[in-house]
Amino acid sequence: MTEQGFFTEADSAEVVISRNAAAKDARLAEVMAVLIRHLHAAVKEIEPTEEEWLKAILFLSETGHMCSDWRQEFILLSDILGVSMLVDAINNRKPKGASESTVLGPFHVADAPELPMGANICLDQKGQPMRVHGRILDTEGNPIPGAKIDVWQANDEGFYDVQQKGIQPDFNLRGVFRTGADGSYHFRGVKPKFYPIPDDGPVGKLLRQLGRHPYRPAHLHYIIEAPGFDRLVTHIFDPDDPYIRSDAVFGVKESLMARFTPMTDPASGFEGEFLDLQFDFVLSRS
């Protein structure tokens, strides 16, 4: 055992870090050293009272108690602090021209049905009809055939099917499509609405105390995969949404906005007016 100094206010971080010198996992030791250094610096800057520190401990305890198989309050906390988007940015640096990524969110369902290209993912005929179309391309502009497109969206009231079991049909507004030789995709949906992230727990309470709203602007979620390319987890956002500049989880990127354009076109198969949403996705090579 190596000789170590006693704990002092001035040397607090270094004393604690040196205690971890025998850690077998070098990455763990590095991560803990950075965390300890920043945490001690924050405590020195804040100088919390003992009551305030206990309040912080109770907040984290409550966050843990809120977690279950279907609710991850710590991910929500990471989301509203911008940490989820920062981890996403660090792990998804893309070459020029490739589509940008954004958060996955908690409402993806792994086994959504594979549907024929052009299918309507809206199973309850509720909402403003929408045609969604575009191409999956590489960074040279070539179409990618055989790309898997997994799409999901909230309905016209801002709810996912999994939040309204027994109200919306299972797999409503979800589908998996595969591109053909020309790399194009098209399907029907309905205009999604903005919605609040789950805000009935400690994270929602914190948002209210900070004077923040819990809303995400209207969007469609995508996971796009193709052999030889990086998996793309992203959204398309409505630029006219009231919350486009204040997404509760910081997921919006300028490059991921596309207009929902009202249109009538007898050749489209839609009766009367529908919204047209066109967006090309560009995948980076893995």
Candidates 85, 144, 197, 218; binder of ligand BEZ (CB under 6 A) is 197
Closest to ligand BEZ by CB, 183 vs 217, is: 217
Taking CB under 6 A as the binding criterion, the range among 100-108, 111-119, 185-193, 276-284 that sits at the site for ligand BEZ is: 100-108
Question: Least distance to ligand BEZ from the beta carbon of 105, Å?
Answer: 3
Query: Which one of the spans 53-61, 103-111, 127-135, 199-207 is the region binding ligand BEZ (CB under 6 A)?
Result: 103-111
In 3D space, the residue among 164, 157, 143 whose CA is nearest the CA of residue 195 turns out to be: 157
Q: Is 213 exposed, middle or buried (0-12, 13-18, 19+ CB in 10 A)?
A: middle
Contact partner, 197, from Fe ion, ligand BEZ, none, Cβ < 5-8 Å per class: ligand BEZ
x/- map, 213-232, ligand BEZ, by CB under 6 A: ---x----------------
3-state secondary structure 82-103: CHHHHHHHHHCCCCCCCCCCCC
Q: Is 105 in the site for Fe ion (CB under 5 A)?
A: yes
SS3 content of the chain, % helix, strand, coil (to 5): 30, 25, 50
Q: Which residue is nearest to ligand BEZ (CB)?
A: 105
Pick from 237, 266, 267, 231: nearest CA to 251:
237
DSSP string, 34-85: HHHHHHHHHHHHH---HHHHHHHHHHHHHHHHT-BTTB-HHHHHHHHTTHHH
**By CB under 6 A, which span of 65-73, 101-109, 120-128, 205-213 interacts with ligand BEZ?**
101-109
Near Fe ion by CB under 5 A, which window of 32-40, 56-64, 101-109, 237-245? Answer: 101-109
Beta carbon nearer to ligand BEZ, 36 or 103: 103
Half-sphere exposure of 220 (CA within 13 A, CB side): 30
What is the identity of the amino acid at 250?
F
Residue numbers of the site for Fe ion (CB under 5 A)?
105
